Amino acid sequence: MNSCILMAQIIQDPELRYTSDSQTAVAQMLVQFESPRSEDPPTTLKVVGWGNFANEIKEKYSAGDQVVIEGRLRMNLIDRPEGFKEKRAELNAYRIHKLAFDSNFEPQASASNTATVFNSDLPASTAKSNNVVPLRSNVPSTSTPDFGNQERDYLSTTSESSFESNSNLVETSTSANPENEQDLDDIPF
């Protein structure tokens, strides 16, 4: 499977064009990322998006944006004017996540409309603690008779007051509209 995840900075504004035969939208831009070795210069790579995703790229991203790009890496063979063929890498993107450190950005574009929003407004510990669901104790109370190998109802033997007194637990709520709920993943892709 050819899958690539790349964190980079956009160095050229996305350019939107259309194919001549089917008028499919094509967006392309250049991104730059640091090389693994410090003595090497940064690497530049062409990123391409197709269809409705190309329109979203053009509308939502510009030079200077830090992004995480998911896509397929492919090699193109190009005829050079000097008379030889050159191989160039190109990333066909299907999802882009904007890395932002303020709350003034919109959710990122996604080819499949299932993108995870990275919420950097909250510290990591707060984001994780909002996802805590209290568990009931599996220790039966002393008043429960011993039935040997029979099943015990642990839920009915646990006192609710023992959970209410714990101030570290965060109450979770379910919403009828999942779009309004906060995304709790720490992973920005």
> How far apart are the C-alpha atoms of 15 and 62, rounded to whole Å?
10
> How far apart are the C-alpha atoms of 70 and 112, rounded to whole Å?
12
pTM, rounded to two decimals: 0.52
38-54, pLDDT tens digit by residue?
Answer: 899 999 999 999 999 99
CATH number attached to the domain at 4-115: 2.40.50.140
Q: To which H or E segment does residue 76 belong?
A: strand 66-79
> How far apart are the C-alpha atoms of 75 and 148, rounded to whole Å?
67
Average pLDDT of the chain?
72
Q: Report residue 150's pLDDT band, with 50, 70 and 90 as the boundaries.
A: low
Helix (H, G, I), strand (E, B) or coil at 164: helix
- φ, ψ of residue 27 to 5 degrees: the values are -110, 135
Q: Token match 């008043």: residue?
A: 143
Q: Where are the domains of the chain?
A: 4-115
CA 140 to chain centre: 42
66-106, pLDDT tens digit by residue?
Answer: 999 999 999 989 888 998 998 999 999 999 999 875 445 45
Provide the 10 A C-beta neighbour count for residue 11: 16
